């Protein structure tokens, strides 16, 4: 009989470093195949990676599918939570997801502020910092909002919504919560964790003083069986939390990193031809305004995919069919990557950047003769 609440699945993937086995329960309209695939990290701390198919990060995605994931996840957050609500997303992967969740909460009338974590110090006052121990870049920063009213709303927040693409142990959420409490957020009455996939199996139950509600599009348990002789994992040096030598566009730099109530489409480009094949690329943490541009182009009748550059080092194979590696555009001296993009598949490639065009690796840009550069 069809279960209106979802369905159960079993999933298994063989990676060079081991075998991942999953038992999961998916919400209606979603499945393991629509939500994620697997890949191998180039990271000795954790050898496997759940590669989202709905975030436009490692796998380019239709903006309409991304918006459906944002909305379906946000719709699982209970209504009537005490405000102000602080929504925070984990850099770099989940900043766009958090913005999408925040937009739904705002649309239904919630008093919600978005404040993402970042690995880019802006020179202003920090609210807190915390660690994500298993990541390729462990340190996260949370800036104080520059707007006095937003700063006051964050300080008085009664509900905290923490957003990430997936949860395995819940430790990152706990670290962020403790850092925010230590920074003076002492009026929290409700905690919500919102993830696309949740493998934590209630690991956070009893870890927070306020009650916790966990929402996701899929839940389950995973079992990782490492091979007897796993391959050596060479992780590039990307664990840098610093202000790069390249200037950031002031509007892009200060958006989610210093707090925002609402987002509007700020980027503009000529209307597409019907059926024009367009790839819109965000860069690093700068993804929400580029996503809204991609969504507008799709709504105008173009065939659009949205993707983003990332500093996440992932081995080729399984979900990762191709990779470009290039020097970062922030002046940090770290490698960046773009995965699963074939330039020949697109008539137009729009690269959205919060740094000047001259900051980009010329050898990388040369792969895209149809490139349109958009400095946010």
More confident residue, 15 or 276: 276
Mean pLDDT of the 170-195 span: 95
Q: Is residue 351 part of a domain?
A: yes
Q: Is residue 353 part of a domain?
A: yes
* Buried-exposed string 329-367: b where 16+ CB fall within 10 A, e elsewhere: bbebebebbbbbbeeeebebbbbbbbbeeebbeeebbee
Average pLDDT of the chain? 91
Mean pLDDT of the 63-81 span: 97
Q: Is residue 30 part of a domain?
A: no
Looking at the structure of the chain, the number of domains it has is: 1
Residue 215 pLDDT grade (very low, low, confident, very high; cuts 50, 70, 90): very high
Q: Is residue 343 part of a domain?
A: yes
Q: Is residue 187 part of a domain?
A: no
Q: What is the pLDDT of residues 274-298, one digit of tens each?
A: 999 999 999 999 999 999 999 999 9
Q: Is residue 161 part of a domain?
A: no
Residue 144 pLDDT grade (very low, low, confident, very high; cuts 50, 70, 90): very high
- CA distances (Å), origin 205, targets 76, 94, 321: 18, 23, 38
Neighbours of 128 (CB within 10 A): 20
According to the model, what pLDDT value does residue 206 have?
Answer: 84
Q: What is the pLDDT of residues 294-343, one digit of tens each?
A: 999 999 999 999 999 999 889 999 999 999 999 999 999 999 999 999 99
Q: Is residue 268 part of a domain?
A: yes
Q: Is residue 73 part of a domain?
A: no
Mean pLDDT of the 126-153 span: 84
Neighbours of 276 (CB within 10 A): 16
Kindly state the tokens that stand for 178.
């403790």
According to the model, what pLDDT value does residue 361 have?
Answer: 97
Choose among 323, 370, 322: nearest CA to 350.
Answer: 370
According to the model, what pLDDT value does residue 252 have?
Answer: 73
Give the gyration radius of the chain's Cα atoms.
20
**Domain limits for position 269:** 264-375
Choose among 227, 196, 238: nearest CA to 40.
Answer: 227
pTM: 0.94
Q: How do strand 139-143 and strand 126-131 relate by DSSP bridges?
A: antiparallel
| Least confident window among 128-137, 194-203, 314-323 | 128-137
- CA–CA distance, 293 with 295 (Å, rounded to integer): 5
According to the model, what pLDDT value does residue 139 have?
Answer: 83
Query: Is it the case that residue 104 has pLDDT exceeding 70?
Result: yes
According to the model, what pLDDT value does residue 134 have?
Answer: 47
According to the model, what pLDDT value does residue 136 have?
Answer: 46
Query: Is it the case that residue 101 has pLDDT exceeding 80?
Result: yes
């Amino acid at each position: 009989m069809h279960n209106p609440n979802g369905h159960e699945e079993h999933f298994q993937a063989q990676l060079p470093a081991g075998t991942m086995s999953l038992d999961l329960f998916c919400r209606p309209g979603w499945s393991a195949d629509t939500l994620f695939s697997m890949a191998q990290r180039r990271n000795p701390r954790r050898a496997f990676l759940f590669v989202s198919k709905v975030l436009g990060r490692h796998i380019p995605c239709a903006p309409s599918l991304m918006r459906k994931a944002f909305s379906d996840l946000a719709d699982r957050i209970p209504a009537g939570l005490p405000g102000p609500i602080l929504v925070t997303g984990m850099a770099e992967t989940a900043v766009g997801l958090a913005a999408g969740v925040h937009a739904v909460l705002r649309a239904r009338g919630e008093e919600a502020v978005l404040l993402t974590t970042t690995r880019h110090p802006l020179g202003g006052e920090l609210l807190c910092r915390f660690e994500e121990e298993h990541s390729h870049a462990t340190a996260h920063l949370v800036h104080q909002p520059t707007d006095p009213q937003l700063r006051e709303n964050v300080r008085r927040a009664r509900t905290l919504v923490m957003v990430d693409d997936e949860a395995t142990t819940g430790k990152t959420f706990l670290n962020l919560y403790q850092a925010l409490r230590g920074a003076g957020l002492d009026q929290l009455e409700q905690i919500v964790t919102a993830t696309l996939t949740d493998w934590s199996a209630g690991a956070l139950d009893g870890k927070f003083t306020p009650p916790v509600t966990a929402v996701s599009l899929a839940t389950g348990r995973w079992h990782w069986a490492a091979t007897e002789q796993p391959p050596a994992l060479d992780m590039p040096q990307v664990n840098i939390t610093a202000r790069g030598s390249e200037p950031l566009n002031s509007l892009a730099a200060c958006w989610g990193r210093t707090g925002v109530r609402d987002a509007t489409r700020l980027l503009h480009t000529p209307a597409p031809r019907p059926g024009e094949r367009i790839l819109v690329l965000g860069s690093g943490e700068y993804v929400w305004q580029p996503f809204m541009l991609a969504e507008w182009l799709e709504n105008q009748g173009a065939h659009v995919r949205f993707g983003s550059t990332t500093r996440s080092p992932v081995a080729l194979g399984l979900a990762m069919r191709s990779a470009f590696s290039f020097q970062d555009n922030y002046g940090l001296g770290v490698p960046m990557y773009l995965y699963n993009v074939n330039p020949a598949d697109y008539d137009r490639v729009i690269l959205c950047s919060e740094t000047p065009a001259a900051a980009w690796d010329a050898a990388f840009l040369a792969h895209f003769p149809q490139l349109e550069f958009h400095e946010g």
